Each structure stands twice: as C-alpha cells, then as structure tokens.
Amino acid sequence: MKNRHLVCPLAVVSALVLSGCGLLPGGGGTRTVNVWLMRDSVSDDFLQRFTKDFEAEHDDIELKFTIQEWTGIGKKVTEAIKGEGGPDVIEVGNTQVAQYADTEKLYDLTLESVRDLGSQDWLPGLAEPGSIGGAQYGIPWYAANRIVIYNKDLFARGGITKPPATRAQWLEDTEKLNGDGNQGIYLAGQDWYTLSGFIWDEGGELAVEKGGGWTGTLDSAAALRGMEFYKDLQSHGQGPKDADEQNPPQAEVFAKGKVAQIIATPSAIPVITKANPGLKDKLGFFPIPGKKAGQPCAVFTGGSDLIIPENAPERAAALDVVKALAGEKWQTELARAMNYVPNKASLASAVEDQEATATMAVGAARGRATPNSPQWADIEGSNPIKPYMTAVLQGGDPRQAAKEASEQITSGLAE
C-alpha cells in the first residue's frame, strides 16, 4: 500500500513556491478517487484485492470506497451529481441510469466504451439502459437474471429425466409434476419480471417510444400471448394470484420440499438450503425455456452500471477506475467471487464451474431491461402491471385489463 501522506522536503523549498509541493503537472501529488458502491455488491476480499492491484499500477491514485444502502439512494445520487465535489464513480442499478442522465449531469462515456471497453460485446440488458439518446452514460458492471431452480427428486418421480428444451415442453412437464401433494411450479401471480420475459419472447414490449413520447403496450397481441402463457404456467401450482414472489418468499415455500420448480435468481439458493439443508444436493437448474429449442427465453436483466458525474473532481482518474472494474481481468474476478454474470457473453466461461451462475449466463445472452425512460422508476412504484396480472389470473377480460394498465403506463411515462 502506498504512503498516504504527501511529504514536502525542506531541501526543495524554492520549488514549493512554484509547485505547491508537487501539485502542478509533473509533480508528485496523489489523487483520491471517491467511489460509491452499493451494500453487498462486492465482498471485502474482492475490494481489498482490487484496491491493492489498482494502486500498485497507479502510484499517483488512491481509492476511497463508500458503501451505500439501496433504500433512498435515488435522492442521494441525484443530489450528489447536481452538487459540487461529489463522488467520482457511482454504482447504480442498470435501470436507474435514465433518471440520472435526465439531469444532464452525467459524463458521456461513449468514446471510452467503444475505444477501451468493447461495448459491442456487452450484454444487452446492461448496455441498453446505460445508453440514452445514442450516448453511453452507464458502463455495464455485473448482471443477474432469473433461472428455473428445480427439485431433482420430484423431477425423477415424475419421470422427467432432462430439463425441457421449449416452453411447450415445459408446460407439459410442469403439468405432470403437479399432483400427489406436490406443486408443479410455485409462481406468484404478480411476478411481473418473469411475465416481461414471456412478453419479450413473443415479440412484445411493456412500452414503446414514439415521437419522443412513451406508450404502454401490454394490450398488443404479442404481449397478450405472453400473459396467456404466464396464466397457463401459473395454473400448475398454488402460487397466490394477488401477491408477488416475496409474499410469501418463494424460496421458503420451495424449501418445504413440495414444490418442483420456482423461477428465481441464484440468490434464492442459500435461502433454500438454510431452511432445508437436505435439499443441498437435490437442486437442479436450467434457463427459462424459449419458444424454440436451443434459444432460451428472453429475461429481465438486473444488475449494476457504473457512472461518472460531470462534476467528478478526479474525472481522469475515475475513468481509469471504471476501465479496470469493467475490464476483462476484474470482470472475471468479480464473477467468480460473487457468482455474477460478467458484462460480456464472451466472459461467461469464468463461471462455467458454478452451475447456477453458468445457467444464469446462458439466459443473460438474451437479457433485456425495462423501458429506458426516466419515469420508469415511478411506474414500478405504483406498478399497474401487478393488478393487471391478478385481474387476468382471477378470470377477468385480458384485453380490457391490459388496456387499462397500458393507459396507466402511458400516463405515468408522460409526467
């Protein structure tokens, strides 16, 4: 670790008058790059290794990391990028980039993304929400998406020897698994992230931008087909029609051993095995099947991007930090340390020995993000998609319910 103190020898006192102890170009000043990361995004070990390596390669830069909480982070980041002397690098949720870019206070990273970071190979679910108006403001850092977690014992009892290759086969298998006191799948009625994947797989969208404005499109023929598939799949289990996957937590329901499948990120695995250690060696994983064999379903990609505020005090050094964190070496290290999907499909081999994460990486290649509007966070707050799903699952008219939800989305995105 470098010396944290800047010493000004008396022997060069005349130089101090001109250089301020080496703070003019060519001097020996140390720059501190302030980085905001979110709670639990990285381990202490990863952070220590990255810091040691980066500072060894950049002896004029020292890193200061501040861990932030997700709760209330939107307001805190907005205030920081509008103020003076704020952080130099900030980790943000990939779908949050648009709202911060709307302040016109983010640094345009388009040149660096093309010249230094190979943006043409980034996962679309991370790259697309970071791009606003043709400019790249968010640099993809890591990804996570949903997979199917299944109980191997229940599959064996149902005579199912391999994961389904298509959505049609998946429905058939799930129907076979549903019975004798077991649920073929536990799928909550308001799991709208999973629904989004089915809509995208059908060629539909949650909302589309036309002429500078956004329009909700849950009532399109493609989106309705996605909801129809969701309803069919959800019927092969006892998931509540009027609640999401956290009410009750689906991992805890699965842990009771009477559910054949859930759709979740691998973060559910430790919850399951903690509640029921006997399931540790009985868990299997496969990507959410698509309409065609050999092509997994489109999935919502969650994760984080890195942004640099326009007001970053150490912008040049901040660029070096972002390039390192988003580059091949530390992408590989991060994926292995945290079981994340790297920001490029070409780096997926880094997690090939981690079964659940490798499965996630297969789906990530077809990842998508929510509509790239600054107002989308408000839509998620009120979320008209959830009551729409419940209405359909409880027997309501799908077209009418979708039309009403689409109108609410259109209105919310226009504000």
Write down all domains in the chain, each with its CATH number in brackets: 31-144+301-368 (3.40.190.10), 146-298+372-414 (3.40.190.10)
Interval 286-291 mean pLDDT: 97
Q: What's the CA angle centered on 290, arms 94 and 392, to 5 degrees?
A: 80
Considering the chain, what percentage of its residues have pLDDT values greater than 90? 90
3-state helix, strand, coil in the chain (%, to 5): 45, 20, 35
Specify the pLDDT at position 23: 34
| Residue 84 pLDDT | 86
Q: pTM of this prediction?
A: 0.89
Cα dihedral 18/20/24/26 (nearest 10): 90
Q: What is the pLDDT of residues 82-136, one digit of tens each?
A: 988 889 999 999 999 999 999 999 999 999 999 999 999 999 999 999 999 899 9
Where helices occur in 314-374 by DSSP H, the ranges are: 315-326, 328-338, 355-364
Q: Tell me the C-alpha distance between 266 and 302, whole Å.
A: 12
CA 373 to chain centre: 16
Contact (Cβ atoms closer than 8 angstroms) between residue 385 and residue 192: yes
| Span 160-212, pLDDT tens digits | 999 999 999 999 999 999 999 999 999 999 999 999 999 999 999 999 998 88
pLDDT of 296? 97
- H-helix or E-strand containing 388? helix 385-393
For 341-375, the pLDDT digits (tens) are 999 999 999 999 999 999 999 999 999 999 999 99
Handedness of CA 393, 397, 398, 401 (dihedral sign): negative
Question: What confidence score (pLDDT) does residue 7 get?
Answer: 34
The yes-or-no verdict on residue 152 having pLDDT over 50 is yes
Work out whether the CA dihedral 162, 166, 169, 175 comes out positive or negative. positive
Query: What confidence tier does 28 reach under pLDDT thresholds 50, 70, 90?
Result: low
| DSSP run (H or E) holding 262 | strand 261-264
- Cα 116 to chain centroid distance, Å, stands at 23
* Residue 320 CB burial class (10 angstroms; 0-12, 13-18, ≥19): middle
Question: What are the pLDDT digits (tens) for 202-258?
Answer: 999 999 998 889 999 999 999 999 999 999 999 999 999 999 999 999 999 999 999
Looking at every residue in the chain, the average pLDDT score rounds to 92
Angle, alpha carbons 148-149-155 (nearest 5°): 100
- Angstrom CA distances, 170 to 109, 160, 166, 184, 233, stand at 42, 11, 6, 10, 9
Tell me, what's the pLDDT at 27? 45
